[in-house]
Amino acid sequence: MKAFGNYHPAVLMVYFLSVLLVAMFVTNPVLQLSALSGGALFAMALERPGNWARDGAFYVPLFFMVAVTNPLFSHNGVTPLFFLNGNPVTLEAFVYGIAIGVMVIGVILWCKCYSRIMTSDKFLYLFGRIIPKLSLVLSMALRFIPMFKRQMHRVSRARRAMGLYAADSFTDKLKSRMSVFMAMIAWSLENAMETAASMKARGYGIKGRTNFSLFRFTARDGVLLSVCILLLGVTLVGTAMGEMAFYYYPRISHLNVTPLALFLYGAFGILSFLPFFVEIKGALIWKYYVWKM
């Protein structure tokens, strides 16, 4: 179910840029946790339940690696916890490492959701007329990795069915993997040449060329766009006013919990969880119609 992906590509682009802008450049822990939680729930709504454990096996070690690495290399802060090789490991550096881990995982999750929602046809629709060559290259790059993985699985399964992975020798397995990789390189080059020739034959990038599109900007797109701009504007204004200010060095500052700050936290929280709410609504409507049948 991708109910959120049914909105207009321009609205989706504005939304993802809004969340990523705040998640990457605002250091307030409440906003970073909101971005992480919203991205995690949205990614879970887009993925099959069987893939959740596999994704967690990647994100959890990455989080701990980032959190532990920062205090080992950064010795700023006024609260030493212990000394390692004569260098202080401070509380501020450790907490900042956790904040960096939250930010990195949150951004990765939102980028993953972006790749699932913003398909190549949507990207070309937005930027095909403005920067046709660059948009074509970027769209091909964004879809190349999942296509590469799917094709590699197909080739591997075909070779396994032919009995080419039956040997226990490490050398034989390595040769088989290398042959698959070389086949994938040839497939990638051939696919890129065919795509370029196909787009050229269709007159892509020629001045005056018309484009067919199924995307139409509707009233619900306008409502979602207005909500996104309003929530982002409120968050940015609050940040500019200093209500979101939070510092880790030289000493961890106090979190602002004034009524205005709580209102701003809620505004960005709604913005972060908006796609998840849309997906839940779409799933409930779908189950309702199935039940009515």
List, for residues 132-171, the tens digit of each pLDDT value: 666 666 666 666 767 777 888 888 788 777 766 555 666 7
Please tell me the predicted confidence (pLDDT) of residue 194. Answer: 80
* 237-288 per-position pLDDT tens digit: 999 998 888 988 888 888 889 999 999 999 999 999 999 999 998 888 888 8
55-109: pLDDT as tens digits: 888 888 889 988 888 888 887 888 888 887 778 888 888 899 999 999 999 999 9
Cα–Cα distance, 58 to 66 (Å, whole number): 13
Helix (H) or strand (E) holding 83: strand 80-84
- Secondary structure class of 211 (helix, strand, coil): coil
Which pLDDT value is given to residue 142? 65
**Residue ranges covered by each domain of the chain:** 4-149+212-292
pLDDT at 232 over 80: yes
Cis preceding linkage at 250, omega within 30: yes
- In eight-state DSSP terms, residue 205 is T
Query: Using only C-alpha atoms, what is the Rg of the chain?
Result: 24
Highest average pLDDT, of 17-31, 153-167, 180-194, comes from 17-31
DSSP state of 128: T
Please report the pLDDT score of residue 121 as a whole number.
Answer: 76
- Interior angle at CA 283, CA 104 and CA 51, nearest 5: 45
- What is the model's pLDDT at position 16? 95
pLDDT of residue 167: 57
* pLDDT in the model for residue 139: 66
Residue 260 in tokens: 């205005």
Are the C-beta atoms of residues 76 and 93 closer than 8 Å to each other?
yes
Grouping H, G, I as helix, E, B as strand and the rest as coil, residue 130 is coil
Q: Residue 134: its pLDDT value, please?
A: 67
Token code pair at residue 140: 């091909």
CA–CA distances in Å: residue 199 to residues 172, 204, 205, 212:
41, 5, 9, 14
Decide if 125 contacts 213 (C-beta within 8 A): yes
Residue 162 pLDDT: 73
Name the residue type at position 69. T
First to last CA, the chain: 19
Q: Whole-number mean pLDDT of the chain?
A: 84
- Maximum average pLDDT range among 31-45, 126-140, 167-181: 31-45
Q: What is the pTM of this model?
A: 0.78
